[in-house]
Structure 1
C-alpha cells in the first residue's frame, strides 16, 4: 500500500496517533507534496467508519482560510481483503509544530499572543461554517514562515452534532478537553475556546493550568481541578490575562467567541488576522483584514498581509 488510489505515493511517516497516522506523500497527478492521514485498521467500526471519516473530510474541505491546512481529497484503500482503510489528503504545512517550540519553555508573550490570535482566526472561520475542531493543542498548530496553520480538522464535527464515537471514548486530548466534553455532550465552539485557553496558558507559562495528576481525574472521576490563575508576566496586557481566564471558565456561556478572541489578541500585538466579517464589528486599527469585506477597499491591504515578510517565531 505504498501508493493510494494510483495517485498518492507514501514517502515518510511524520505523525502517529491513537487512531491514525500521517504520511508525507507525493501527489503523482498534480506533482506536489501532500500530507495523507491514514485511519489505522483494526479500530472500532463506530469510531473509524468510512461514512464518518468521509463526513469529517467534507466538513473540513469547506474551510478555506490562510491559517487552516486545507483538505484536498478523500479515498479508501484495501490493504487486505475485507479491510477498507479510509484516508484524507491534506495540504502539507512545512514548518515546526508549536509543541516542538514549547519543549524549550514558554514563548515570549508577544509571540504567544500572535500565535493564539491566528489560531483563533482559524477557529472563527470554522465556527462560522458550523464546524468544531475538537482537538486544539500544540501538536496541531504548525508554525510556518508565513504564519500559523491549524492542522487536523480530521476529527472536526458539525457544531452540536451527537457524538458518534463508541461509549467510553472521548474524542480529543485529555488536558485540553472542556468539562462538558467529559460528559459527552455535543461539541460546540465553546469547547474549542476552552482548549484555546489551555493553549494560551501553556504558551505564556510553559505548563498546563492544572496539576499533572489532573489528567487521571479528567478521565476517571470526571472532576477537574480549578485552573490555576495565570501568574504575573512582565508586560502582559490585562486583557490577555482576562481572555485566558474566561476561556477556561467551566460555564461555556462565559467563554468568549473565537471571533472576539481573534480580535482582542490581534489588537494587542497589532497583527492582521483573517476572520469572517458577517458577525464582526467595524474594522479596528490594524487588527483585522477580511476577504469578506468590500474587495476594492481591501485588495491592496490583503496583498500586503498575505505576501509580507516571513514570520519569526523565535523566543
Structure 2
C-alpha cells in the first residue's frame, strides 16, 4: 500500500477520471477513513498545476454545509515526472451514487425532488462563496444515510473564471453543460443551474432531455433543438415542472438561483433544507412561473428532515 506524506494510506481505488483518480484511504494521524483525489500528472491540455489545484482546494475548504463533502487537506506526492503531483483529501461519503441508483430506472417524483432540493442547497452554499461546481451530474451525487452529499467541489472554479481549455476541448460532462459553456463563456452559477435542470429531468424520467447515442450526436442535438418537455408525471406539482424548464433555458438570466430552487423543491415535498444565510454573489433571477418567496423564507436555516427510503421507485 502506498502512503502519502506518511499519513494517508491508500487502500482501494474507488473512482477514476480523465484528470484524477480517487482512493479510499486511512488517515493515520486522526485514525479515520478519508477519500483522496490524486491528480493525474501533466496530461496534454489539462492544467493540473500544484498552485491551481491548491487555490481551488482552499476555496472548496471554506464550504461548510451538510450536503457538501468537506475538503480536509491538500498535499503533493512525488510520483510524477516533475515530482509534484497534487492531491486533495476529502470526507469519505459512504453510500450509493445517484448514477448507480438511477440504473434501475427513474425515481419516484417525491424522492427525485428531495434529492435535487438538497443538491441545490449545496450549490447555494457554493454560490454564496463565489464557487461554481461545473460538473453537477449523478456520478457526483451520493445518497448517504444522513442525506445527499455533492462531491468534487475540490476542483470547482471561482465564479467568472474564463475557460482556458484548449480549442476543441470541453470541460465537464457534455450532457450537463449549459449552452454558454459550449461557447466557452466564463463559469457562472447559472451554468450549475442548467446542470441541475438536466439532473432533475433525468431523475424524474430516467433519460436525458436530448435524444442522442453518442457525445457527438448529443452536442449536435443540443445546438439544433430545445430540450424535450417533461412528460406528464402523476402527482408532480406544476411548479416543479416549471422549475425544470426554467433551469434548462438557453438564456442564463432566465434560470432560477440555486437558493430559490432549493426552497421551491423542498416546499414541493414538504421537506426542509439547510440554506446559507449569505446571499449568492450572482444576482438572483426570478421567473414569472415561480412562486414568490419572502426575504424571511430566503434567509431561513433549518435542519434536514428525516430522509425517505432512497430505494423507492417510480410507480
Specify if TM > 0.5.
yes
Cα separation, 2, equivalents of 1:259 and 1:309: 21
CA change 1:196–1:169 in 2 (3 A) is same
Aligned to 1:293: none
Deviations 1:152-187 (A, max 9, x none): 013211111122333332211010000000111100
Q: CA RMSD in A?
A: 2.0
2:256 and 2:128 mapped to 1: Cα distance?
14
Task: Say how many residue pairs are matched.
Answer: 299
1:63 maps to what in 2? 63
Partner of 1:296: none
1-structure distance, mates of 2:155, 2:222: 22
Contact 1:46–1:164 (Cα < 8 Å) also in 2: no
Partner of 1:119: 119
**Mean Cα deviation higher: 215-224 or 150-159:** 215-224
- Name whichever of 155-164 and 17-26 sits farther off: 155-164
* Cα-to-partner distance string for 1:199-236 (whole Å, 9 max, x where unaligned): 00000000000002473145569725310010000000
1:265 counterpart SS class: helix
> Cα offset for 1:128?
0.4
CA 1:51 to 1:268, structure 2 compared with 1: closer, same or farther past 3 Å? same
Distance in 2 between residues matched to 1:223 and 1:209, nearest whole Å = 13
CA distance, structure 1, for counterparts of residue 213 and residue 224 of structure 2:
10
Gaps of 5+ in 2: 280-292
Partner residue in 2 for 1:44 = 44
Residue of structure 1 equivalent to 2:160:
160
1:205 alignment partner in structure 2:
205
The within-5 A match list for 1:112-261 is 112-213=112-213, 215-217=215-217, 219=219, 223-261=223-261
SS at match of 2:87: strand
3-state secondary structure, aligned to 1:38 = strand
Q: Paired residue for 2:311, among 307, 311, 314?
A: 314
Query: Cα gap change, 1:212/1:46 in structure 2, threshold over 3 Å: closer, same or farther?
Result: closer
* CA deviation after TM superposition for structure 1 residue 81, in Å: 5.6
Give the secondary-structure state (helix, strand or coil) at the position aligned to 1:209.
coil
1:23 aligns with 2:23: yes
2:266 pairs with 1:266: yes
Distance in structure 2 (CA, Å) of the matches to 1:221 and 1:274: 37
Q: Is the 8 A contact 1:147 1:311 kept in 2?
A: no
Q: Structure 1: which 5+ runs fail to align?
A: 291-301
Whole-angstrom CA distance in 2 between matches of 1:164 and 1:145: 38
SS in 2 for 1:148: strand
**TM-superposition CA deviations, 1:101-139 (whole Å, max 9, x none):** 100000000000000000000000000000000000000
Give the SS at the match of 2:84: strand
**SS of the residue aligned with 2:231?**
coil
Counterpart of 2:72 in structure 1 is 72
> TM-score, with normalisation over the residues of structure 2?
0.89
Assess if the C-alpha contact under 8 Å between 1:201 and 1:209 holds in 2: yes
How many angstroms apart in 2 are the aligned matches of 1:39 and 1:156?
A: 14
Partner secondary structure for residue 273 of structure 1? coil
- 1:80–1:181 CA distance, 2 compared to 1 (3 A): closer
Superposed displacement of residue 82, structure 1: 2.4
Aligned partner of residue 169 in structure 1, secondary structure: coil
Single out whichever of 14-23 and 42-51 deviates more from structure 2.
42-51
Equivalence for 1:53: 53
- TM-superposed deviation, 1:56: 1.2
Give me the whole-angstrom Cα distance separating, in 1, the residues matched to 2:237 and 2:275: 22
